[in-house]
Chains A and B, each alone.
Chain A
Amino acid sequence: MVGIVAYGAYVPRLRLQRQAVYDANKWFAAGLRGLAKGERSMANWDEDSITMAVEASRDCLTSHKAEDVRSLYFASTTHPFKDRQNAGVIGTALSIEQNLLASDVGGSQKAGTSALIAGLNASKNGGGPALVAAADKRMARVASSNELNYGDGAAALLCGTENVIANLVGHHSVSMDFVDHFRGDETDFDYGWEERWIRDEGYSKIAPPAIKAALAACKLKGADITHFIMPSLMPAVPKQMAKICGIADGSVRDLLGANLGDTGAAHALVMLVDALEGAKAGDKIMVVAFGQGVDVLVFEVTAENAKLPKRKGLSGWLARRKEEKNYLKFLAFNEMLPIEKGMRAEFDKKTALSVLWRKRDMIYGLVGGKCKVCGTVQFPRTQVCVNPNCHAIDSQDPYAMAGLEANVMSFTADSLVYSPDPPGYYGMITFPEGGRFMADFTDSDKEQVKVGAKMRMTFRIRDNDTMRGGFKRYFWKAAPV
């Protein structure tokens, strides 16, 4: 039977305090006062939906081998590239390329669940393990409610047929062009219609029939549902839908608004990970995503869930947090503030695509080398071994380093270099297995960066080539463990 075999999540470290946003904007939008509580996740300047999806996928694959994945679906409404397969970047970062079907899924807030249905069906039909990653980093206008309600984050689910932790009981979808909001291709921002109309003509008339159809197909009653997952920017809506469908009020899952925010196309899957982390064998989980129709999925948790090896998961990533009260920094990170960057920000970031292709395992996979003659691990992998007592030629096998912990050997905080978040922290990191390189640090504070500090490698944006329409250069950075 097909189902979910592993889960993972990712939440950026920074948590923007909503009160700080409100304090800056209340002169203009006093009506936002009711939303000025709690915090929302805020991507670092070097994070986007691809980097967050990579992190969530790595979290998910804590217990499984990446090379076994046969299909990869990446759901988002904020894919960094319109034409360049975003899922392919994730696949290369995970060092899976061969025998891989990769696909981007987008265009709707139900992209995450649609991708999950596709992944489950692919796996069910003999396609092997399918990895479904969903991430969103949505922009919002200054002083809008979206700015306060949205959060940045990602989830990943591995679909398969062996050691299933949550069996797919059934799913049902309806699709119709109900435009509660839209984002045209000439803007970064959403444009939404009146909430009361969305609630009364949209949710209330579209969701319950689909939920009931799914229940019927699964031969279940509303009361059988233990966890009811339904993202919505209107917190009362999921409870109303549950009530209409006979689902207990106590089964309605928290929307994670207080300390995360709504992560867009990823949110249904983020909430599913949240539910799976605490679910017991026999629990029935219903996932509903609304957006130009409805996707409904029903799962039954198995005894395998308790045996799944530990991972950070949503709770782990949520626990890694740093309060951010600087609203201007949030605007600057999102290119919403014409900040004076100085001439050092003008250096050309043109990427030689031919070089990137030749070196993609090194750049996107952080794959180094291990010398067959002397055993020295090194980065990058070159033709002549770096060991001064070896220097063997053409002696190295590929050696994956992204999953290794490193130590800080030397470091600095550089105020001269251009960084969107000065000072720029970087330093020499060494891997206990062998190998070292001068790495940019990210998610770092003065108190954390020390000689000997343990660092974890994380896939991030290195540069953005704005001269050529926003080609993001990705590479691995070191972040304090």
Chain B
Amino acid sequence: MARGIKDKVAILGMGCSKFGERWDSGAEELMLEAYKECIADSGIDAKQLNAAWFSTAIDEVHVGKSGIPLSMTLRLPNIPVTHVENMCASGTEAFRGACYAVASGAADFALALGVEKLKDTGYGGLPGGRGGPLQALWNANGTAPGNFAQLASAYQTAHGVSADDLKKAIGHVSWKSHQNGAKNPKAHLQKAVEMDTILNAPMIASPLGLFDCCGVSDGAAAAIVTTPEIAKSLGKHNLVSVKALQLSVSNGSESGHNSWDGSYFHTTRIASKKAYEEAGIKNPRDEVSMFEVHDCFSVTELVTMEDLHISETGKGWKDVLDGFYDADGKIPCQIDGGLKCFGHPIGASGLRMLYEMYLQFQGRAGARQLKDPRIGMTHNLGGSPRENVSSIAIVGRFE
């Protein structure tokens, strides 16, 4: 294992737009909304930025290619801007790029900004029709909910869990996120929902009903990173530093080799192990204070909590039903509402998760503030259970 970047990078400032169906804004306005908060929070001037990373996933429906849209929108001082795309892990990838630039010494101040403007397509759900000319000839004609829904049938088979028990457990995942989202003024969905409503909602892709699916939202989030030394020299206190950044990408064994049973995320198991190692975490169930994981669908979150080595394999559904991940549980998960309620503007999501961590560590999380969090973990999962990008970030107090 490489040496890693633990405590080499600190978050100097962050910003996040209101998420939701932002009929009032294009990608540019959303980017500026997040950036204004972020640059003010950092206390530096735009001219001090040395480099920027810009993440979007479905740029063909809003800003288009390259780093130019970010540079143009923010009128950046002709610094390097790199456009990154790695599906739902894009936001974390922008953050990773900025952190590595700082850790290497190539930049003193680096900006990571992610945005997605999805609600200009004219229809609900994610835009479809992507993939290359060969995939179009043979890949199943599916959707994101349909691909993730298959975790459910495979999980039931692998662990002998009944359809009813699993439906209740994934229903609880969404119920908990709605409870949390109701306390977040920037969230897309800010309404608590009854369990009965969740369980009886119209089916999207069996067994996932409407409330098992996260919102399709517009939004942007941003971070400016520097070294802990520079941050201190600027008079910053309560520093939040980066403990680990890891990424694992499928190589086709899940989708093409009969060794995978479809009930878990192979990549998340690998990325989380590496991340704990980089961060020096021995027992994550005791050491991690909070999670923001990729709950694109309720069942994704349930399975992920096992793949992050928090819940025992095949027992995650019991932890969920026991309230282990509720706001008042042992380790709160999605305290800001998660993708489910805060929303999922894809390119911004990884940064949005870090934004919540940052607020929590600084005691600025308002009605949803947790008591004395020390270590926070974010997780993104781009693609589908069989072919995906899994990204992990661990952040915490700089001590």
**A415-B205, A428-B386, A438-B386 given; A355·B145 CB < 8 A:** no
Docked-complex contact B143 and A438, CB < 8 angstroms: no
A-contact 0/1 string along B180-211, CB 8 Å cutoff: 00000000000000000000001111101000
Contacts of B147 in A (CB 8 A): 412, 438
Contacts of B208 in A (CB 8 A): 412
Please tell me which stretch of A6-14, A135-143, A203-211, A345-353 contacts chain B, meaning at least 4 of its Cβ atoms lie within 8 angstroms of it: A345-353
Most buried by A among B137, B145, B150, B251: B137
Alpha-carbon distance A463/B128, docked complex (angstroms): 15
**A343-B123, A416-B125, A437-B256 given; A410·B153 CB < 8 A:** yes
Docked-complex contact A435 and B258, CB < 8 angstroms: yes
Residue among B129, B202, B253 making CB contact with A386, cutoff 8 Å: B253
Alpha-carbon distance A300/B328, docked complex (angstroms): 84
Per the 8 Å Cβ criterion, residues 413-449 of A in contact with B are 413-419, 423-424, 426-428, 430, 434-440
Docked-complex contact A410 and B137, CB < 8 angstroms: no
Residue among A347, A348, A355, A415 making CB contact with B134, cutoff 8 Å: A355
Docked-complex contact B146 and A451, CB < 8 angstroms: no
The answer to whether A334 has its CB under 8 Å from any CB of chain B is no
Docked-complex contact B129 and A462, CB < 8 angstroms: no
Docked-complex contact A411 and B141, CB < 8 angstroms: no
Interface size class of A (residues with CB under 8 A): 35 or more
Docked-complex contact B133 and A355, CB < 8 angstroms: yes
Task: Count residues on chain B whose CB falls below 8 Å from chain A CBs.
Answer: 43
Residue among A416, A417, A435, A463 making CB contact with B256, cutoff 8 Å: A435
Docked-complex contact A414 and B146, CB < 8 angstroms: yes
B-contact 0/1 string along A113-139, CB 8 Å cutoff: 000000000000000000000000000
Docked-complex contact A439 and B204, CB < 8 angstroms: no
The answer to whether B122 has its CB under 8 Å from any CB of chain A is yes
The answer to whether B283 has its CB under 8 Å from any CB of chain A is no
Docked-complex contact A388 and B257, CB < 8 angstroms: yes
Alpha-carbon distance A323/B195, docked complex (angstroms): 39
Per the 8 Å Cβ criterion, residues 432-481 of A in contact with B are 434-440, 451-452, 462-463, 473, 475
Alpha-carbon distance A319/B248, docked complex (angstroms): 50
Contacts of A349 in B (CB 8 A): 136
The answer to whether B157 has its CB under 8 Å from any CB of chain A is yes
Docked-complex contact A380 and B138, CB < 8 angstroms: yes
Task: Identify the closest chain A residue to B266 (Cβ).
Answer: A388
The answer to whether B151 has its CB under 8 Å from any CB of chain A is yes
The answer to whether A387 has its CB under 8 Å from any CB of chain B is yes
Alpha-carbon distance A351/B142, docked complex (angstroms): 18
**A343-B122, A351-B136, A388-B253 given; A451·B258 CB < 8 A:** no
Alpha-carbon distance A210/B160, docked complex (angstroms): 69
Task: Identify the closest chain B residue to A430 (Cβ).
Answer: B258
Alpha-carbon distance A282/B325, docked complex (angstroms): 78
Alpha-carbon distance A426/B208, docked complex (angstroms): 15
Contacts of B141 in A (CB 8 A): 417-419, 424, 426, 440, 462-463
The answer to whether B154 has its CB under 8 Å from any CB of chain A is yes
Residue among B146, B256, B259 making CB contact with A426, cutoff 8 Å: B146
**A386-B253, A414-B145, A475-B138 given; A342·B123 CB < 8 A:** yes
Docked-complex contact B143 and A416, CB < 8 angstroms: yes
The answer to whether A362 has its CB under 8 Å from any CB of chain B is yes
Alpha-carbon distance A439/B206, docked complex (angstroms): 16
Contacts of A395 in B (CB 8 A): none
Contacts of A356 in B (CB 8 A): 137
Docked-complex contact A388 and B259, CB < 8 angstroms: yes
Per the 8 Å Cβ criterion, residues 285-344 of A in contact with B are 342-344
Docked-complex contact A359 and B206, CB < 8 angstroms: no
Docked-complex contact A417 and B154, CB < 8 angstroms: no
The answer to whether B149 has its CB under 8 Å from any CB of chain A is yes
Docked-complex contact A410 and B150, CB < 8 angstroms: yes
Alpha-carbon distance A475/B149, docked complex (angstroms): 24
Docked-complex contact B125 and A426, CB < 8 angstroms: no
The answer to whether B1 has its CB under 8 Å from any CB of chain A is no
Residue among B136, B138, B204, B253 making CB contact with A416, cutoff 8 Å: B204
Task: Identify the closest chain A residue to B256 (Cβ).
Answer: A386
The answer to whether B252 has its CB under 8 Å from any CB of chain A is yes
The answer to whether B255 has its CB under 8 Å from any CB of chain A is yes
Docked-complex contact B204 and A438, CB < 8 angstroms: no
**A347-B129, A388-B253, A475-B137 given; A414·B262 CB < 8 A:** no
The answer to whether A154 has its CB under 8 Å from any CB of chain B is no
Residue among B123, B138, B150 making CB contact with A411, cutoff 8 Å: B150
Query: Nearest Cβ distance between residue B211 and chain A, in whole angstroms?
Result: 14
Per the 8 Å Cβ criterion, residues 288-329 of B in contact with A are none
Alpha-carbon distance A362/B206, docked complex (angstroms): 30
Contacts of A348 in B (CB 8 A): 129
Contacts of A411 in B (CB 8 A): 150, 153
The answer to whether B59 has its CB under 8 Å from any CB of chain A is no
Docked-complex contact B205 and A436, CB < 8 angstroms: no
Task: Identify the closest chain A residue to B387 (Cβ).
Answer: A438
Docked-complex contact A413 and B206, CB < 8 angstroms: yes
Query: Nearest Cβ distance between residue A387 and chain B, in whole angstroms?
Result: 6
The answer to whether B2 has its CB under 8 Å from any CB of chain A is no
Contacts of A85 in B (CB 8 A): none
Contacts of B255 in A (CB 8 A): 428, 436-438
Docked-complex contact B142 and A414, CB < 8 angstroms: yes
The answer to whether A376 has its CB under 8 Å from any CB of chain B is yes
Alpha-carbon distance A418/B123, docked complex (angstroms): 12
The answer to whether A45 has its CB under 8 Å from any CB of chain B is no
Alpha-carbon distance A359/B136, docked complex (angstroms): 12
Residue among B121, B128, B134, B256 making CB contact with A378, cutoff 8 Å: B256
Contacts of B151 in A (CB 8 A): 410
The answer to whether A101 has its CB under 8 Å from any CB of chain B is no
The answer to whether A409 has its CB under 8 Å from any CB of chain B is yes
Per the 8 Å Cβ criterion, residues 217-263 of B in contact with A are 251-253, 255-259, 261-262
The answer to whether B140 has its CB under 8 Å from any CB of chain A is yes
A-contact 0/1 string along B329-340, CB 8 Å cutoff: 000000000000
Task: Identify the closest chain B residue to A353 (Cβ).
Answer: B133
Query: Nearest Cβ distance between residue B136 and chain A, in whole angstroms?
Result: 7
Contacts of B125 in A (CB 8 A): 344, 416
Contacts of A416 in B (CB 8 A): 125, 143, 145-146, 204-205
**A342-B123, A355-B133, A413-B205 given; A438·B128 CB < 8 A:** no
Query: Nearest Cβ distance between residue A192 and chain B, in whole angstroms?
Result: 38
The answer to whether A363 has its CB under 8 Å from any CB of chain B is yes
Docked-complex contact B154 and A410, CB < 8 angstroms: yes
Docked-complex contact B153 and A451, CB < 8 angstroms: yes
Residue among A343, A363, A427, A438 making CB contact with B137, cutoff 8 Å: A363
Contacts of A451 in B (CB 8 A): 153-154, 156-157
Task: Identify the closest chain A residue to B137 (Cβ).
Answer: A363
Alpha-carbon distance A418/B143, docked complex (angstroms): 9
Per the 8 Å Cβ criterion, residues 367-398 of B in contact with A are 386
Contacts of B203 in A (CB 8 A): 413, 415, 423
Contacts of A409 in B (CB 8 A): 154, 261-262
Contacts of A347 in B (CB 8 A): 128-129
Query: Nearest Cβ distance between residue A405 and chain B, in whole angstroms?
Result: 14
Query: Nearest Cβ distance between residue A184 and chain B, in whole angstroms?
Result: 33
Alpha-carbon distance A360/B224, docked complex (angstroms): 50
B-contact 0/1 string along A237-267, CB 8 Å cutoff: 0000000000000000000000000000000
**A412-B146, A451-B153 given; A473·B137 CB < 8 A:** yes
Docked-complex contact A351 and B204, CB < 8 angstroms: no
- Of the A-B pairs whose beta carbons lie under 8 Å apart in the complex, a sample of 11, sorted by A's number, is A355-B137, A379-B256, A380-B256, A387-B257, A411-B153, A412-B150, A415-B203, A417-B142, A419-B141, A428-B255, A438-B140
Known pairs A414-B143, A428-B150, A440-B140. 5 more at Cβ < 8 A? A342-B123, A343-B121, A413-B205, A414-B205, A440-B141
Q: Nearest 8 A-B pairs (CB), nearest first?
A: A347-B129, A414-B146, A352-B133, A410-B150, A412-B149, A386-B256, A426-B140, A343-B123
